[in-house]
Structure 1
Amino acid sequence: MTTLRTDPFPAVLQLLHAAAERDDDHDIGPLPPDATAAERADALAPIYMPVSDAGGALLYSLVRASRPQTVVEFGTSYGISTLYLAAAVRDNGEGRIVTTELSATKVAAARQNFADAGVADLIEVLPGDALETLTAVTGPVGLVLLDGWKDLYLPVLHLLEPHLAPGALVIADDTSFASVQPYLDHIRDPANGYVSTAFPVEDGMEVSCRS
């Protein structure tokens, strides 16, 4: 039995996926063009923006296979993707997760979800702007999940690169979004030190290995 199939974990995950299916019911409306990152995060607080079941299974498998000592996630939201990461860390028997989220509403909800699922002891949640909170991360970082604001994928990667272990995996979600293209251009250029592969999972995932 894996953590994914051991109570109370699957029940919590099922409830979160069910709630996320109602994302389209929320009419957020257009945000002011000069809205700050914090204002955007507050406006989008009702939206789960989850990783898919298939994407979560891929994350679980990659963590199990690579056995990273430190996993860093950019974009906690309500913690669905974090739970898949934590299940793998639990089943590996070693490691920790550092995740960051700007919305105070989501930070509180995610922490409760982690406690309900029985994996809170594996996860450190950093509230605030990722470009500030992630400066406190120390290496070696064995796996990174980029799943926050798409235009920040590349700045966050640059911030974490000095702490990446040789062979570290960097996973980007929602790579079909146009705003992810600058990141993809960088990560797919061999001169930048990665071997990268696209996975056809939901809105797309890019899995890249630091050489």
Structure 2
Amino acid sequence: MSFYTVVEFGTSFGISTVFLAAAIRDGGGGRVIGSELHPEKVRRARQNLDESGLGDLVEIREGDALVTLRDVEGPIDLVLLDGWKNLYLPMLRMLEPRLRRGALIVADDLDIAPDDLRPYLEYVRGADSGYGSVEIPLGDRLEVSCWHGRDGREREA
């Protein structure tokens, strides 16, 4: 049985979370750990997850994600970045030591706040970043990056 760990920055009302949890269930098991700053959104996300029958696969941590996600245990298989754009890079850098080699990082909404996203995109697209990264022109655009490691910091699959 597989066990996957998915981290979601910016849970909001839990719509993406439902899909992530369904993928975890269908993939053999694991957990989704999300973070949301606003208490009302956390309440609604939990309600949506419970109604979907997937609430047992998800932990939503309320508060500042740079605090609430600091102690997520790895290895991490997937990160969805869908919160404040200026926090994408600090969030990734915080989680990076726990990424499994081959982990995917999906950065949503590249068209929103492009100046805030510039440091993140320069980082994941950099030649020595440890990532292979590509823009996907769907909706407000996505950046999908795959962690392959660098300087001996990669995790085994």
Q: 1:153 aligns with which of 70, 81, 88?
A: 88
Task: Return the alpha-carbon distance in structure 1 between the equivalents of residues 12 and 3 of structure 2.
Answer: 22
The size of the alignment, in residue pairs, is: 145
Task: Return the alpha-carbon distance in structure 1 between the equivalents of residues 103 and 96 of structure 2.
Answer: 10
> 3-state DSSP class of the match of 1:196?
strand
1:68–1:141: 8 Å Cα contact kept in structure 2? no
TM-score by length of structure 1 reads 0.67
Task: Return the alpha-carbon distance in structure 2 between the equivalents of residues 68 and 121 of structure 1.
Answer: 14
Specify the alignment match of 1:199 in structure 2: 136
Which structure features the higher share of helix residues?
1
Per-residue deviation, 1:168: 0.7
Specify the alignment match of 1:47 in structure 2: none
1:68–1:143: 8 Å Cα contact kept in structure 2? no
Which structure features the higher share of strand residues?
2
1:119 is the counterpart of 2:65? no
Q: 1:190 aligns with which of 116, 123, 127?
A: 127
Structure 2 unaligned residues grouped into runs of 5+: 149-157
Task: Return the letter of the residue paired with 1:200.
Answer: P
> 3-state DSSP class of the match of 2:128?
helix
Specify the alignment match of 2:67 in structure 1: 132
Which protein has greater RCO, CA pairs closer than 8 Å, 6+ apart?
A: 2
The percent identity for this pair of structures is: 54
Per-residue deviation, 1:68: 6.4
Q: Within 5 A, what are the aligned runs for 1:26-105?
A: 69-105=4-40
Task: Return the alpha-carbon distance in structure 2 between the equivalents of residues 141 and 85 of structure 1.
Answer: 14
Structure 1 unaligned residues grouped into runs of 5+: 1-66
Per-residue deviation, 1:132: 0.4
Query: Greater CA radius of gyration, 1 or 2?
Result: 1
Runs of 4+ residues over 4 Å off in structure 1 = none
1:97–1:124: 8 Å Cα contact kept in structure 2? yes
> 3-state DSSP class of the match of 1:171?
strand
TM-score by length of structure 2 reads 0.89
Task: Return the alpha-carbon distance in structure 2 between the equivalents of residues 162 and 93 of structure 1.
Answer: 25
